[in-house]
Amino acid sequence: MRPFFPWRLFWKFFFKQFVVIVGLCSALLGFVFYYFAIDWSAADLRLPSLVFLVLTILVSGYVAYSLAAPLRTVIVQALRIADKKRTDGLIDHEEVLHEEEGEYYEIERALTTIKRKLRKRRDQLAHEREESKALMLALEDAVVSVGTDGRLKFFTAQFAAQFMHKEQFSSTRSGAIGSGAATVLLADVFRSPELLSLIFDCMNTGQSLKKRIYLKTLGEAADRYFSVTVSPLKEQRSFAIYGALALFHDITDLKRAEQIRIEFVENASHELRTPLTSIKGFVETMKEDVAAQNWDQIPSFLNTVSKSVNRLTELVNDMLSLSSLETNSPIRKESIDLFRLTHDVVDSLSALAKEKDIILQVQVDNPELCADEKKIEQVLQNLIGNSIKYIAQSGKIEIHWQDTGDGIDLSVNDNGPGIGPEHLERLFERFYRVDKGRSREEGGTGLGLAIVKHIVQSHGGQVKVVSVLGRGACFICNFPKQL
Ligand code: ADP
Q: How far is the CA of 438 from the centre of ligand 1 (A)?
A: 10
By most ligand atoms within 8 Å of CB, the mutation choice from 439, 442, 456 for ligand 1 is: 439
The pTM is what? Answer: 0.61
Distance CA 455, CA 477 (A): 10
Give the closest residue to 412 by CA, choosing from 433, 428, 401, 398: 398
Q: Is 390 in the pocket of ligand 1 (CB under 6 A)?
A: yes
Sign of the Cα pseudo-torsion (172, 176, 180, 183, in order): positive
Q: Which domains does the chain have, with CATH numbers?
A: 7-114 (no CATH), 139-250 (3.30.450.20), 256-326 (1.10.287.130), 334-479 (3.30.565.10)
Atom of ligand 1 nearest to the CA of 430: 6
Least trusted range by pLDDT, from 89-93, 269-273, 387-391, 415-419: 89-93
By most ligand atoms within 8 Å of CB, the mutation choice from 271, 386, 415 for ligand 1 is: 386
Mean pLDDT of 29-52: 81
Q: Is 433 in the pocket of ligand 1 (CB under 6 A)?
A: yes
Q: Is 472 in the pocket of ligand 1 (CB under 6 A)?
A: no
Task: Return the H-helix or E-strand segment holding 40.
Answer: none
* Residue 94 pLDDT class (50, 70, 90 cuts): very low
Give the closest residue to 384 by CA, choosing from 436, 419, 347: 347
Q: Is 449 in the pocket of ligand 1 (CB under 6 A)?
A: yes
Q: What is the number of alpha carbons within 13 Å of residue 465 lying toward its C-beta?
A: 24
* Residue 391 pLDDT class (50, 70, 90 cuts): very high
By most ligand atoms within 8 Å of CB, the mutation choice from 318, 390, 396, 474 for ligand 1 is: 390
Q: How far is the CA of 471 from the centre of ligand 1 (A)?
A: 15
Q: Is 21 in the pocket of ligand 1 (CB under 6 A)?
A: no
Backbone phi and psi for residue 202, each to the nearest 5 degrees, phi listed first: -60, -40
Q: Percent of the chain at pLDDT above 90?
A: 54
